[in-house]
Amino acid sequence: MSGTNGKRWSSTLDPILVDPTGNLHSGITMPGWDGLPFRGTIPDLKDGDPKQPVQHQKVHIEILCLWVENDMKKYREICQVVANGYGLISKEDARYDEQKKNWRVFIRWLELFTAMEKGTDNGRNR
């Protein structure tokens, strides 16, 4: 971000705003919950338990050069995650690179998952 006099400045985001469940970096468990992957400690829920996992999103931002094999593979994987119902594309912009005679893609997508809320018996940081 640019501040006054053209100098760069930035602010630090509170980690709780970035990862309110504390589970963004934990592995996923399949089949998950309610059709989505589950992140975090698997809860021991009883029938009728009012505390249920809820849906969350993890943001991914990529700039992919589709003439690069690994980038094309990553692009296909992202598209497959979305097709499988585990993600949503929130912004995609493709530009043709005249020099490379191929495409460069900016893609911002949301990985969908479920997790327990913090403060619940089965969530983190009670």
Neighbours of 42 (CB within 10 A): 13
Buried b (16+ CB within 10 A) or exposed e, 75-100: beebeebbeeebbeeeeeeeeeeeee
Q: Rounded mean pLDDT of 20-47?
A: 83
Query: Is residue 87 domain-resident?
Result: yes
Find, among 23, 90, 81, the residue nearest to 53 by Cα.
Answer: 23
Residue 5 has pLDDT above 70, yes or no: no
Q: What pLDDT, on the 0 to 100 scale, is given for residue 10?
A: 58
Query: Is residue 67 domain-resident?
Result: yes
Give CA–CA dist 53/32, Å, rounded: 10
Query: Is residue 126 domain-resident?
Result: no
Place of tokens 């009883």: 46
Contact 43, 116 (CB under 8 A): yes
Residue 103's domain spans which residues?
Answer: 4-115
Query: Is residue 125 domain-resident?
Result: no
Query: Is residue 102 domain-resident?
Result: yes
Q: What pLDDT, on the 0 to 100 scale, is given for residue 1?
A: 42
Among 9-13, 76-80, 99-103, which is the least confidently predicted range? 9-13
Q: What pLDDT, on the 0 to 100 scale, is given for residue 3?
A: 52
Overall domain count for the chain: 1
Query: Is residue 29 domain-resident?
Result: yes
Give CA–CA dist 54/118, Å, rounded: 11
Q: Rounded mean pLDDT of 73-97?
A: 95
Query: Is residue 88 domain-resident?
Result: yes
Query: Is residue 38 domain-resident?
Result: yes
Give me the phi and psi of 89, to 5 degrees please.
-90, 125
In the predicted model, what is the mean pLDDT of the chain?
84
Contact 108, 90 (CB under 8 A): yes
Residue 28 has pLDDT above 60, yes or no: yes
